[in-house]
A and B are shown apart, each in its own frame.
Chain A
Amino acid sequence: MRPLLPADARLLTTPEPACLLDGLTVALTSSEAGRLTVLAPQLTGRLTLQQAAAAPDDAALISRLHDAGVVFDLPVIDGAVPVGPFCDYLYARISGWRCRKHPDQWPWREVITTGQARTQFSGTPSPAGG
């Protein structure tokens, strides 16, 4: 595996240590968060897992993040990515965006789901649901 941690993944240390990507939150211990901070610059797809995380605990952490869907196996070799793994990566990212939409940014989804949507045009009062 050549682990890649996407550049837009976020590492939180407070209030609880965690790694966030596309609405997914993976809880970490403080020690793991510290290790991931050190390891993150190596997780660009250019190194193998063994090269990026020599210590068994580090390799286990990366593997756990891979299983959780925060780290991807996407080799970046000679300025290029293999097509199949990149397609897997692209569709996985898109799936994450689509399936874990944040309610604060997509508030109307809850409104529609709960049947509260109204059908009025702007400034034109009409009976709800009419």
Chain B
Amino acid sequence: MPLTSTAQFIALQYRLAHLSVLDYLAGSAVIEVDPDAYARQGDPYAPWETAYGIAPEILAPVRQHIRDDVTSGHAQLFRAVALASAPSALPLAVATSALLSAWTVFEATRLWQRDMYEHYHVNGRTPGRAGL
């Protein structure tokens, strides 16, 4: 695993969790697996074993985490918590912050996936430039 970007991604989640629960859950919504899609095709990491040749035990924790989330009915937690915490309206600053947090996590997933790609898919190119 590309440890630096993995640590940065975890640090981002940690930072959002301490910013507010809605910021954290807005970010989580970006990586939330749609239960219908999960029922049809499984989790998004299923093809990685064959695509990247990653040992199943490396992916197992995150796949288990996704499975637990889906089977526990954790889809759209942001909506549930937002409605519980502010049933009528959210201050604009809170809403704007949540949207920004979601975008930040989305961009972080892109950078992490880029690093995963460069880490595993060298294909004769120099790591750090591959795929860009």
Contacts and interface: CB of A to CB of B under 8 A. Distances in A.
B121 A80 contact: no
Given A108-B121, A121-B120, A90 B99 contact: yes
B29 A83 contact: no
Nearest to A104: B132
A87 interface: yes
A86 B95 contact: yes
B82 A83 contact: yes
A82 B89 contact: yes
Interface in B113-132: 113-114, 116-123, 127, 131-132
Contact of A81 (B29, B90, B102): B90
B42 to A, nearest CB: 15
A109 to B, nearest CB: 8
A124 B116 CA distance: 15
Nearest to B30: A94
Contacts of A66: none
A31 interface: no
A130 B53 contact: yes
Given A94-B29, A112-B47, A118-B121, A80 B127 contact: no
Contacts of A130: 53
A119 B52 contact: yes
Given A83-B83, A120-B122, A94 B90 contact: no
B100 to A, nearest CB: 11
Interface residues of A, number: 35
B119 A91 contact: no
A86 to B, nearest CB: 5
Contacts of A121: 119-120, 122
Interface string A85-111: 011001101100110010001111001
A92 to B, nearest CB: 11
B112 to A, nearest CB: 11
B66 interface: no
Contacts of A82: 88-90
13 contacts: A81-B95, A86-B82, A87-B76, A87-B78, A97-B106, A98-B30, A108-B121, A112-B51, A118-B121, A120-B120, A121-B119, A122-B119, A130-B53
Interface of B: 26, 29-30, 47, 51-54, 76, 78-79, 82-83, 86-93, 95, 98-99, 102-103, 106, 110, 113-114, 116-123, 127, 131-132
